[in-house]
Amino acid sequence: MSVTPSSPTDLPLEGVRVLDFAQFLAGPYAAMRLADLGADVIKVERPQGGDLCRSLAVNDQWLDGDSLLFHSINRNKRSFAANLKDAGDLKSVKALIASADVMIHNFRPGVMERIGLGYDVVSELNPRLVYASVTGYGTTGPWRDKPGQDLLAQSLSGITWLQGNDADGPVPVGFALYDIATALNLVQGILACLLRRGRTGKGGLIEVDLLSSGMDLQFEQLTCFFNGERTQPRRTEISNANVYGAAPYGIYATKDGHLAVAMTPLKRLAELFALPALGAFDQSDALKRANEIKPLLQARISERTTAEWLAILEPADVWCAEVLDWPRLAESEGFAELDMLQTVRNGAGSEMKMVQCPMRLDGSRLPSPLGAPALGADSDTLLNELGLA
Amino acid sequence: MDTGFQPLDGLIVVDLSQFLAGPYATLRLQDLGARVIKIERPDGGDLTRNLYFSDTVIDGESTVFHAINRGKESLALNLKDSADVERLKKLVSRADVFVQNFRPGVIERLGLGYDRIREINPRIVYTSISGYGPDSPWRDLPGQDLLAQARSGVMWLNGSAGDGPVPFGLAVADMMAGAAAAQGILAALVGRGISGNGAHVETSLLEAMLDLQFEVLATHLNDGGRPPERAGFRSAHPALPAPYGVYPTQDGFLAVAMMPIGALAELLDLDALRPFADDQGAWFRRRDEIKGIIAARLAVETTEHWVSLLEPKGIWVARVLSWPEMLSEDAFVHLDMVQTVRDALGTELNLMRSPVRINGRRGHSDRAAPDIGMDNDAILREFGL
């Protein structure tokens, strides 16, 4: 943190060095966000194959020998190849750690300690270091050795019973939600610790795990659960979008698509949808009789197109929206104005499109046009810098 | 080192936001040690106090409000009253962070836009959270979670082919926007420590939802815009091959993550799977067929049977738990994610805690959410208002 920005548009983490020992998604995604915010992120990878994500493809998409997935999680980083089981390499890594502000790893509990890079050892080597660890289920406890994989953590945490409808069985979220939420918590912890270091001069240990982060994501619903009957809430038979959400909250099929309808008093619904049958329900019925109310609404909504309903509902300030898919979203004016896409180019000159950091700082996006590094691409430069070449 | 020192100790956050996204961001700051002062309308306060979600009400206010606002102070001010606005400005002159989530344009009309606040306090980190961005053609649409989910394309990732759009059962857009805001605020505070200057941090529900989908969107954006295709049988990720998904067993459900089909063929003793063992392309192309074969086998034994057979062999499986089942697990108890707090009326409630541990400890606060204006006298005195 020695660099003094010359203008407020300089990135806030310029001069902060982050070592990313993590693999797959949660740790590397956190490191990528720090890179978005200006940090110098160096991946420390096994010389053979590197981050396992390099060879894990989704949708069978590849770029320059690495999976597209890897590229999307590791843009704007450097790569240092080191075998942590080799004494010489370990010495280099320790020199790198001495030069760093933050290190992130997601090895299973105990692994870093066995390598000799546990928090106690490393914090003596570099007392200013913020040491961040990601696990599946915490570093102690009976689940500590279970695989810290997103779908499995979702399954253990109860969230699969929140999506879908009553008869559906468990419906997981269709991508790695817990990895991402865990990463976001990690970024917050790291940044807070850097702030504290600004005042105390000392680093600290940040620990996050998939399960705690999954609990946090469910905190609203879990609070209702803990302070209520403590029975598993049921999803509605149709159009569920929140187990504690009163009707009409949910998604309804129209003649040609789908309409989302959020909190709206039943009286308003009866008027706007010309549904006198809703008059039989009191507002206090909206949650417990949702299974009677939602089908009435669904039958009516399916009679007209989405556009026809929006023309009635939006001028009346009803909280509703057309349900878009990606192609329709990408064509929309709202998406174009948001400016969330960037083109990233890697060392080999290949380009790919990806979304960028979801915030603006002083009115500007935080573009990060540098692609992911080839394995060990920056080893020589860094060894030179550390006087170890 | 002093492990009891919370990282944001001494920082003052003035929070004008309502509902979830903004208050979730300031909840995180509160967990990290900041002092959060909610600015609320004297009549009714934060609209979440009366949000008709759930039947559970605690001391006249929604349970959800208590969950989101634990540990905060409440200062009731009428922003249409000039004397109250002056009080707020004086408070802001001593604050570190300012958070607002009015629809674009509203805060400027109140005379509390970034340019004005920055004149009062150049070191402040000013934060704006909107639904769809300040200049969007959608700027005047309600920035509500379900509606932002609907517009973001995310509903086509959950559920299986044929399901139609499947929303999240929780306010994921609000929470992700709150998390993005918290990160921006913290980074700007770090930057302020170097430069001395504050900053304007902006995010929106839609930006946060696009970021949340970044990994799967990357496949779409670089694949000629091919839409995601959920598996026909119990999809859990549109871009992952078999066996990824959730399977019914004799007495429950088993989640199976990415695993080589050959290993499963051996362990489940499934001849029908063997032809696929070395044909990785088929794991994606013919995933419904493969999943069907696996499903037929898993359905005839209990979840416990499969977990005890597969887990020791390193196969990535997990039981699918409900909340009551999860709560009875030692592993859950061990996490220590639930705390009991007591509100002003002495009512005890169980709330979640911070998901981050610093130097081995979770952020700790046993203060409940405040009543409207509960801290007016103390704050007015303290800041000479």
- On chain A, the residues whose CB falls within 8 A of the CB of B162 are none
Angle at which helices B172-195 and B21-31 pack, to 10 degrees?
A: 50
Active site annotation includes B237? yes
The one-letter code for the residue type at A134 is V
Distances (CA, A) of A54 to A62, A65, A82, A159, A351: 9, 8, 16, 29, 17
Active-site option among B200, B220, B237, B305: B237
Q: Considering only the beta carbons, identify the residue of A141, A163, A212 that sits closest to B158.
A: A163
CA angle A82, A85, A88 (to 5 degrees): 60
Q: Considering only the beta carbons, identify the residue of B169, B190, B218 that sits closest to A240.
A: B169
- On chain B, the residues whose CB falls within 8 A of the CB of A228 are 54-56, 63
Torsion of CA B307, B309, B312, B315, to 10 degrees: -70
Strands (E) across chain A are located at 17-20, 40-45, 62-63, 66-67, 77-81, 102-105, 130-135, 204-209, 250-253, 258-261, 320-322, 341-345, 351-355, 360-361
Q: Considering only the beta carbons, identify the residue of A204, A225, A246 that sits closest to B323.
A: A225
Min Cα separation B194/chain A (Å): 6
Measure CA of the first residue to CA of the last residue in chain A; give whole Å: 25
Put simply, the answer to whether B2 touches A200 (Cβ < 8 Å) is yes
Angle at which helices B214-221 and B205-212 pack, to 10 degrees?
A: 70
- On chain A, the residues whose CB falls within 8 A of the CB of B157 are 173-175
Put simply, the answer to whether B138 touches A72 (Cβ < 8 Å) is no
H-helix or E-strand spanning residue B58 = strand B57-58
* CB hemisphere CA count around A231 (13 angstroms): 4
What six digits make up the tokens of B367?
Answer: 């203060």
Put simply, the answer to whether B158 touches A246 (Cβ < 8 Å) is no
Map residue A63 onto helix, strand or coil: strand
Q: Are B189 and B125 in contact (CB under 8 A)?
A: yes
Put simply, the answer to whether A262 touches B142 (Cβ < 8 Å) is yes
What six digits make up the tokens of B81?
Answer: 């009253």
What six digits make up the tokens of A121?
Answer: 């050892």
Using CA atoms, how far apart are residues B148 and B252, in angstroms rounded to an integer?
A: 33
Q: Considering only the beta carbons, identify the residue of B195, B202, B255 that sits closest to A359.
A: B202
Min Cα separation A162/chain B (Å): 5
What six digits make up the tokens of A20?
Answer: 């990313």
Min Cα separation B233/chain A (Å): 11
CA angle A57, A58, A60 (to 5 degrees): 70
Q: Which of A319, A388, A354 is nearest to A98 (CA)?
A: A388
Min Cα separation B46/chain A (Å): 16
pLDDT in tens, B288-344: 999 999 999 999 999 999 999 999 998 999 999 998 998 888 888 888 888 888 887
Q: Considering only the beta carbons, identify the residue of A138, A258, A323 that sits closest to B335.
A: A138
Q: Are A193 and A266 in contact (CB under 8 A)?
A: no
Put simply, the answer to whether B136 touches A334 (Cβ < 8 Å) is yes
Using CA atoms, how far apart are residues A49 and A72, in angstroms rounded to an integer?
A: 17
- Tens-digit pLDDT profile for chain A (389 aa)? 333 333 335 789 999 999 999 999 999 999 999 999 999 999 999 999 999 889 887 767 888 888 888 988 999 999 999 999 999 999 999 999 999 999 999 998 899 999 999 999 999 999 999 999 999 999 888 999 899 999 999 999 999 999 999 999 999 999 999 999 999 999 999 999 999 999 999 999 999 999 999 999 999 899 888 888 889 999 999 999 999 889 999 999 999 999 999 989 999 999 999 999 998 999 999 999 999 999 999 999 999 999 999 999 999 999 999 999 999 998 999 888 889 989 988 888 888 888 888 988 888 888 888 888 988 889 899 889 888 87
**β-strand partners of A58:** none
- On chain A, the residues whose CB falls within 8 A of the CB of B322 are 158, 161, 232
- On chain A, the residues whose CB falls within 8 A of the CB of B324 are 230-232
What six digits make up the tokens of A209?
Answer: 């795990």
What six digits make up the tokens of A259?
Answer: 């309409």
Q: A2-40 burial, b for 16+ CB within 10 Å, e for fewer?
A: eeebeebebbbbbbbbbbbbbbbbbbbbbbbbbbbbbbb
Q: Are B173 and A174 in contact (CB under 8 A)?
A: no
Using CA atoms, how far apart are residues B291 and B241, in angstroms rounded to an integer?
A: 9
Put simply, the answer to whether B169 touches A163 (Cβ < 8 Å) is yes
Using CA atoms, how far apart are residues B183 and B5, in angstroms rounded to an integer?
A: 20
Put simply, the answer to whether A205 touches B360 (Cβ < 8 Å) is yes
- Which class for B14: exposed (0-12), middle (13-18), buried (19 or more C-beta within 10 A)? buried
- On chain B, the residues whose CB falls within 8 A of the CB of A357 are 211
